[in-house]
Amino acid sequence: MPQRTDGSGFGASNAIVTSTARHWLDDEGILHVVGLPGSAHTLADARENVGVDGRIAKGGKAPTVIDMRLIESISRDARNYYGGPEAAAIYAAAALIVDSPLSRILATFFLGINKPLIRTRMVEGEEAAVAWLRQFLPRDEPR
């Protein structure tokens, strides 16, 4: 069951924590998902995380930073779900933050084998992730 936290350690004061990740929307409208240390994502976790992100995005499609640096594993079923239509309905694009051989392997499997339905890029830090994702923020339409 997700719970709200004070955000100490990973994110903003409006963060929601599931069993495998911390989730919040920043002031620009970029969704942040940080995998918890040593987390092993199953299909049930993927469904929970995507559901939380859908509630945070309030029916819109949010560009999303996914910090994979501390994740231990993601099952094949979970990778398929994260790359499938349920997630594509919520995420405008995703930047996967990696910094170790393990996080690179997880991201490479996701990008190469699962072929996500949204634009996805592997990056090496939050600044690079946010900079790339800004192009996917909704633009004000001229009247």
What are the pLDDT digits (tens) for 75-97?
999 999 999 999 999 999 999 99
> What span, in angstroms and rounded, lies between the C-alpha atoms of 65 and 132?
10
> What span, in angstroms and rounded, lies between the C-alpha atoms of 24 and 59?
15
Tell me what pLDDT residue 36 has: 97
Tell me what pLDDT residue 7 has: 38
Q: Which two tokens stand for residue 93?
A: 């694009």
Tell me what pLDDT residue 140 has: 63
Tell me what pLDDT residue 12 has: 62
Answer left, alpha or beta for residue 7, where phi above 0 means left and psi between -120 and 50 means alpha.
left
Percentage of the residues of the chain whose pLDDT score is greater than 90: 69
**Sheet with 119-123: strands ordered across:** 3-4, 16-17, 21-25, 31-35, 62-67, 91-97, 119-123
> What span, in angstroms and rounded, lies between the C-alpha atoms of 63 and 88?
11
Query: 142 pLDDT exceeds 90?
Result: no
Q: What is the pTM of this model?
A: 0.85
Contact indicator for 95, 123 with CB cutoff of 8 Å: yes
Tell me what pLDDT residue 59 has: 85
Tell me what pLDDT residue 104 has: 78
pLDDT digits (tens, 9 = 90+) for 91-114: 999 999 998 888 878 777 777 666
Q: What mean pLDDT do residues 61-73 have? A: 94
Tell me what pLDDT residue 8 has: 34
Average pLDDT, the chain: 87
Tell me what pLDDT residue 95 has: 96
Query: 48 pLDDT exceeds 60?
Result: yes
Residue with tokens 């990008």: 111
